Amino acid sequence: MQIDLGPLLYQCEVRFAPKPVQSAKVRLLPISKRCPVCKQSKSRPVVYQPRDVEAYKKDMAVCLGVSHQGDSIDEPLFVHIVLHVERPRSAKKRPYPMTKPDLDNYVKPVMDALEQGQVIANDSRIVGRLEEKVYAEEMPKVVVRIYGMPT
């Protein structure tokens, strides 16, 4: 399989099963992982993630866990994540979402949720990953496809 992204950006040959082991569409507004919050509590600082990020990871883990049937997947995996984000009003003419937050910050909570939702045994099982950030046609959502790697 070759992926053509336009005039010689790159070509990629991917070898894996044509049907995903697991596929899920989660209709949650994608939220990016931000810097932890640090507050002083009596004598020492306390560091934690913002509440909305933690709630998002928990909701995503529940949705992914419900869509997954069976035990945690414990084999080499390839993960394809497509984040459908809202198009800002200022970006009517731009075909691609080249705005903040960065793609990797959107993906971090999804990867955490895959493990928390017991879809995968550990994120160290992921040996390949393809991520995309696109403008949502309808509602913002996250699409996750998990493929088993040939052994």
pTM as predicted: 0.71
- Mean pLDDT for 44-65 is 79
Categorize the per-residue pLDDT at 57 as very low, low, confident or very high, splitting at 50, 70 and 90: confident
Q: What percent of the chain has pLDDT over 70?
A: 79
Helix (H), strand (E) counts: the chain: 2, 6
**pLDDT given at position 11:** 33
pLDDT reading at 100 higher than 60? yes
The number of CA neighbours under 13 Å toward the Cβ of 98 is 5
Taking alpha carbons only, the member of 67, 58, 73, 32 closest to residue 143 is 67
- Indicate the CATH number of 22-148 among 3.40.50.2030, 3.30.1330.70, 3.30.413.10, 3.20.20.10: 3.30.1330.70
